[in-house]
Amino acid sequence: MLIELSISAVTALNVGAWLVIQFGLAWGCTQVAAERFNHLSQLARPKAWERGGRFYEQAFGIKRWKDRLPDAARLFRGGFAKAKLQTATPEYLERFLRETWRGEVVHWLALLALPAFAIWNPWWGVLINAAVAVAVNLPCILALRYNRARFLRLSARRNRFG
């Protein structure tokens, strides 16, 4: 901890910082063209162990809770809602897949901001912020990866059977 603050000031700063980080990253990423988010890149591409999304169904019961997660994309001009498929056209599915990667990038970047909290938090405050950051971002990352893996599996099946 580099800066000594009261507990109430630290709490207010933590809440404010997380709001600025989460919404700032979300807004910033909506300003980048969707084409820049390659859902087939090495990092984004579903891995074999994800088994087309089945891993998330079995390990986390994701089907039961993923629809309850908020989607802040609608708050920003150019945001793309990912809660429900609007159509099954190839162009829409391609955009949907890119947007799941965009959303995942936002949540990973938010987690990467955690070390900054060591500036004004005692060690135990950093741990609390880490727990909050994981609790807020990890479910979204899991849901976005699950949807991307599932829709890539669907797309591959559709291409195979015409």
pLDDT digits (tens, 9 = 90+) for 42-54: 999 999 999 999 9
Environment class of 64 (CB within 10 Å of its CB; exposed 0-12, middle 13-18, buried 19+): exposed
Q: Is the pLDDT of residue 88 over 80?
A: no
Q: How many angstroms separate the Cα of 21 from the Cα of each of 18, 29, 150? A: 5, 12, 29
- Establish if 1 belongs to a structural domain: no
- Establish if 144 belongs to a structural domain: yes
Confidence of residue 15 (pLDDT cuts 50, 70, 90): very high
Q: What is the pLDDT of residues 92-127, one digit of tens each?
A: 888 999 999 999 999 999 999 999 999 999 999 999
- Establish if 2 belongs to a structural domain: no
Owner of token pair 């910082």:
17
Number of domains into which the chain is organized:
1
- Establish if 22 belongs to a structural domain: yes
pTM beyond cutoff 0.85: yes
Residue range of the domain that includes 136: 7-161
- Establish if 83 belongs to a structural domain: yes
Q: What is the C-alpha to C-alpha distance for residues 88 and 25, in angstroms, rounded to an integer?
A: 29
Confidence of residue 151 (pLDDT cuts 50, 70, 90): confident
pLDDT in the model for residue 87: 81
Q: What is the C-alpha to C-alpha distance for residues 51 and 80, in angstroms, rounded to an integer?
A: 26
pLDDT in the model for residue 73: 77
Q: List all residues 6 or more positions away from 102 whose beta carbon is below 8 Å from its beta carbon.
A: 29, 30, 32, 34, 37, 80
Q: What is the C-alpha to C-alpha distance for residues 25 and 152, in angstroms, rounded to an integer?
A: 26
Summary mean pLDDT of the chain: 91
pLDDT higher at 81 or 94? 94
Q: Is the pLDDT of residue 75 over 90?
A: no
- Establish if 90 belongs to a structural domain: yes
Query: Of 1-10, 14-23, 47-56, 82-91, where does mean pLDDT reach its minimum?
Result: 82-91
Query: Of 37-41, 65-69, 87-91, where does mean pLDDT reach its minimum?
Result: 87-91
